[in-house]
């Protein structure tokens, strides 16, 4: 009898050991996700710095197919270069001889404060190093309760070619990202502090205004008043710095490659669309038509999202706020027309919540959309590998068109989830204004 029971007990013990092992693995996965993100990022940067020294600066960036521009951190150099020109008596918005590429100054008025600091191009490396450090502080701070798997997914965006382009150029979006991360953190504790930081971010660069959606967790009345307050501050800032804003808008280079936005496809194939529509290449329909088309697409996705009766909830208010920040910035900047691909780095904000939803949600409708969006983010952020591949040069235009399809699909998907995840009072308002149907409350 005992001999017969021994295998059964051994099998139970093995099963219990297996369950304990799985439980321990899951605990490690959930407990050390943030630590894994920090340690892995520091390790990767250590390897990159070693590669700069032993393999070569330009060659290291080209591992990600990032096109290198000299001198180092050329985007940031516009600020100290303009400051040097200003101190020599030039108006940098009209003539800027001390910028390495003779670019006209096109930053918002806030950045003119640096003209009075004595900054020179000799300060570029240490200033950009601080901005890079703050960027990664933001990356480390904002995610909440992330697992090791979610950290790996996040790292694939943080060290994607699109993000590496941001680091290589030393663009001031590095500091804007940090401010957006602070807004996400503040939103968890104080809506008023979040709104105050949002106004600060707007002064630095206007596009963070789209991130006002982080305030959606507040009551309807509080959200309306805080959003209106931010909008009023934005309008006052634009009015008081009209010349600076116009200069920034008109003098910013708009690319037809390494870019995303409503106008990119139409800018690159301007002549084709001109012939197709039977209008001149300078016709307003080719300039504003794509933005209108993108607006209709975003509005359609929003209506579908609001009409979805199953609620898209989150267990983390911070991750949800970060998702709203990243999705809103992508959708809003896409609508503006043209953005260099380094701004795709703001999609870092959406990754933790998307990964949580992909793992926790069972509704197939949401799951398919969420997984598709995650794939589209990777394809969009990593498309440099195909775009700049010597082996694919003969099909380069097809790669461009495919990337544009990904970007348009991504703006639709993010818009859908952004509206689908709005709080009850937003959906109730929508249903009140809609035909006689009401949303189904689900837990």
| 248 or 13, higher pLDDT | 248
Place of tokens 């600060």: 200
Residue 7 pLDDT level (bands cut at 50, 70, 90): low
| 145-196: pLDDT as tens digits | 999 999 999 999 999 999 999 999 999 999 999 999 999 999 999 999 999 9
Which pLDDT tens digit goes with each residue over 340-357?
999 999 999 999 999 999
pLDDT at 91 over 70: yes
Cα–Cα dist 190/205, whole Å: 22
Residue 250 has pLDDT above 70, yes or no: no
Question: In this predicted structure, which of 22-31, 43-52, 64-73, 394-403 has the lowest mean pLDDT?
Answer: 22-31
pLDDT of residue 244: 76
Asked if the model's pLDDT at residue 123 lies above 80, the reply is yes
Per-residue model confidence (pLDDT) at position 78: 95
pLDDT at 39: 97
List, for residues 312-323, the tens digit of each pLDDT value.
Answer: 888 889 999 999
Q: Indicate the average pLDDT of the chain.
A: 88
Using CA atoms, how far residue 272 sits from 277, 280, 360, 407, in Å, is 9, 11, 45, 20
Q: Residue 440 — very low, low, confident or very high, per pLDDT cuts 50/70/90?
A: very low
Q: Provide the pLDDT for residue 214.
A: 96
- Give the whole-angstrom CA distance, residue 409 versus residue 160: 20
Confidence (pLDDT) at 282 = 82
Mean pLDDT, range 2-30, rounded to an integer: 56
Beta pairing, strands 339-340 & 259-260: antiparallel
Cα dihedral angle (221, 223, 228, 231), rounded to 10 degrees?
A: 180
Rounded mean pLDDT, 307-332 = 90
Q: What is the pTM of this model?
A: 0.90
State yes or no: pLDDT of 441 exceeds 50: no
Q: Is the peptide bond before 166 cis (omega within 30 degrees of 0)?
A: no
């Amino acid at each position: 009898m005992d001999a017969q029971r021994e295998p059964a007990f051994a099998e139970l013990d093995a099963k219990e050991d297996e369950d304990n092992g799985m439980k321990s693995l899951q605990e490690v996965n959930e407990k050390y996700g943030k630590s894994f993100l920090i340690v892995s990022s520091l390790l990767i940067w250590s390897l990159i710095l070693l590669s700069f020294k032993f393999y070569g600066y330009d060659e290291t960036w080209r591992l990600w197919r990032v096109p290198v521009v000299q001198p180092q951190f050329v985007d940031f150099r516009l600020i100290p270069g303009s400051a040097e020109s200003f101190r020599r008596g030039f108006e940098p918005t009209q003539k800027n001889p001390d910028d390495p590429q003779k670019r006209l100054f096109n930053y918002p008025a806030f950045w003119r404060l640096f003209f009075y600091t004595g900054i020179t191009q000799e300060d570029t490396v240490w200033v950009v190093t601080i901005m890079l450090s703050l960027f990664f502080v933001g990356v480390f701070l904002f995610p909440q309760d992330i697992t090791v798997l979610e950290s790996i997914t996040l790292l694939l965006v943080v060290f994607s070619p699109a993000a590496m382009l941001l680091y290589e150029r030393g663009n001031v979006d590095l500091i804007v990202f940090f401010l957006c991360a602070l807004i996400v953190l503040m939103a968890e504790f104080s809506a008023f502090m979040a709104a105050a930081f949002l106004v600060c971010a707007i002064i630095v660069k206007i596009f963070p205004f789209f991130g006002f959606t982080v305030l959606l967790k507040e009551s309807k009345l509080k959200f309306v008043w805080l959003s209106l307050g931010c909008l009023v501050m934005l309008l006052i800032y634009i009015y008081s710095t009209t010349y600076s804003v116009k200069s920034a808008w008109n003098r910013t280079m708009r690319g037809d490659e390494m870019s995303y936005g409503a106008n990119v496809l139409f800018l690159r194939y301007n002549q084709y669309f001109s012939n197709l529509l039977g209008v001149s290449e300078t016709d307003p329909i080719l300039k504003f038509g794509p933005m209108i088309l993108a607006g209709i697409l975003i509005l359609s996705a929003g209506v579908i999202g609001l009409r979805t009766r199953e609620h898209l909830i989150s267990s983390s208010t911070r991750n949800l706020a970060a998702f709203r920040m990243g999705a809103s910035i992508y959708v809003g900047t896409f609508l503006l027309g043209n953005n260099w691909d380094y701004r795709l780095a703001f999609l870092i904000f959406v990754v933790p919540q998307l990964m949580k939803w992909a793992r926790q949600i069972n509704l197939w409708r949401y799951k398919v959309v969420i997984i598709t969006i995650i794939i589209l983010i990777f394809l969009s952020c990593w498309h440099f590998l195909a775009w700049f591949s010597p082996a694919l040069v003969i099909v380069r235009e097809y790669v461009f068109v495919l990337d544009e399809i990904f970007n348009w699909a991504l703006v639709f998907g993010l818009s859908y989830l952004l509206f689908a995840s709005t709080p009850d009072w937003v959906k109730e308002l929508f249903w009140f204004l809609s035909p006689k149907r009401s949303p189904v409350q689900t837990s």
